[in-house]
Amino acid sequence: MGVFLRLGDDSAGTALVQIGDPAVPAIVTALKSAPPRQRFKLYLALGLIDSPQAKTVVAKQLNREDDPECRGILVQITRYGLKSAH
């Protein structure tokens, strides 16, 4: 719930979650050039989408992400799902 509230103030992130799986390719593209703060929110969106395609992206990004906060949210999403990620 806390994570959703942090994304709730981001209208673009909320829209991506509402779009769901069709938004995943756009998220992957955005991750390539986004600064850490935006990547964090994109990861939250992937966690909220929670589809097999989104989970695959999260798993791949876990091995590539070098920002500690972004890596932390990826670990939380991977291990516990988004509801447990604070």
Neighbours of 86 (CB within 10 A): 10
Mean pLDDT along residues 29-42: 95
DSSP 25-83: HHHHHHHTT--HHHHHHHHHHHHHH--HHHHHHHHHHHHH---HHHHHHHHHHHHH-GG
Domain of residue 42: give its range: 2-84
Q: What is the DSSP letter of 9?
A: T
Total number of domains in the chain: 1
Residue 5: which pLDDT band, with cuts at 50, 70 and 90?
A: very low
Average pLDDT, the chain: 87
Q: Check whether 2 has a pLDDT greater than 50.
A: no
pLDDT in tens, 36-75: 999 999 999 999 999 999 999 999 999 999 999 999 999 9
Per-residue pLDDT, 83? 59
Distance from C-alpha of 13 to C-alpha of 18, rounded to nearest angstrom: 9
Mean pLDDT for 13-31 is 94
